[in-house]
Amino acid sequence: MQQIINFIFRNKNLLLYLFLLFISLAFTIQSHSYHQSKFFNSANWLTGGVYKTTNGIFSYFNLEKENQKLVDENMRLRRIIINNEYNEEVAIDSTALDSTLLDYTIVSAKIIKNSYSNLDNYITLNKGSKDGIKQDMGVITPNGILGIIENTSGKFSRVQSILNRKSNLNAKLKNTDNFGSLIWDTKDFNTVQLIDIPRRIPIKVGDTILTGAASSIFPENIPIGTIKSFGLDVSKSSYTINISLFNDMSNLKNVYIINNTNRVVLEELESPVTNGK
């Protein structure tokens, strides 16, 4: 007994080191396999608060550019509305705006911490569960897709960016129904990869890629990017396509969080099928 105690005393630094290293490795392995822990991420009150405060100062420096972006987007949307009214001559019916009848509801948010240089990137937003944000909602920018809500706290939420090795989204070629998986090979932050598009599909550089219909997170036809280059994968049966994103991932501020109101119903419908496999 005496010897055991002596041993512990002699090697207390080594034991302490190994114990703490074990804790940190446990966190690391957990973060590589599944969602990170609920509290220890940048969406908690402390880190979120610090980022919000500094963001409150630094956001003034590019207000003009952000305003211009938003005006451009408004202009585009305004053009769509005006043209639709003249084409279809249908007045806006107030019942159609009842939020309980809409398929998707939208919440606006601001990025308070952006990241694009790591291998697994996460973005922190200034809206949280108090604003009705929940896990697995989609996040888009005026130009295109951004990621999926992964964690929320009261006032902040964390987005798993498409620039993340765990990201895997459904995407398709414009005007076709051929869809594949959107992944990131970690090399360039403005280029993502689309895999599993069959070889027989005719594609060419410059084609537009949109979100597909097989996702319960994003609505169909949200823009993603254009084809930059493509090649066959190892099996020679499908394409690996490099897509240059419409978003400049290094310069983002205002985003929209999309909530699919039918999502619960959809997942209930789909779950027996996946269980039956």
Nearer to another protein, 42 or 242 (CB): 42
Contacts of 232 (CB under 8 A, 6+ apart): 199, 238, 239, 240
The least distance separating another protein from the CB of residue 203, rounded to whole angstroms, comes to 27
Contacts of 224 (CB under 8 A, 6+ apart): 144, 145, 171, 182, 192, 209, 210, 211, 243, 245, 246
Which residue intervals of the chain are DSSP H helices? 2-10, 12-33, 45-58, 63-88, 263-275
Nearer to another protein, 146 or 171 (CB): 146
Which residue reads 């076709």 in tokens? 176
User: What is the C-alpha separation between 100 and 102, in angstroms, rounded?
Assistant: 6
The least distance separating another protein from the CB of residue 89, rounded to whole angstroms, comes to 50
The least distance separating another protein from the CB of residue 205, rounded to whole angstroms, comes to 23
User: What is the C-alpha separation between 246 and 252, in angstroms, rounded?
Assistant: 12
* Cβ(247)–Cβ(146) below 8 Å: yes
Q: Which two tokens stand for residue 80?
A: 């769509």
The least distance separating another protein from the CB of residue 11, rounded to whole angstroms, comes to 11
Q: Would you list the DSSP string of 241-270? A: EEEEESS-TTS--EEEEEEETTHHHHHHHH
The least distance separating another protein from the CB of residue 159, rounded to whole angstroms, comes to 10
Nearer to another protein, 7 or 17 (CB): 17
Nearer to another protein, 49 or 132 (CB): 49
User: What is the C-alpha separation between 216 and 197, in angstroms, rounded?
Assistant: 20
Nearer to another protein, 122 or 218 (CB): 122
Nearer to another protein, 24 or 235 (CB): 24
The least distance separating another protein from the CB of residue 209, rounded to whole angstroms, comes to 22
Binding site for another protein (CB under 8 A): 12-14, 16-17, 20-21, 23-25, 27-28, 30-32, 36-37, 40-42, 44, 46-47, 50-51, 54, 115-120, 122, 124, 158, 188-189, 250
196 dihedral zone (left: phi>0; alpha: psi -120 to 50; beta):
left
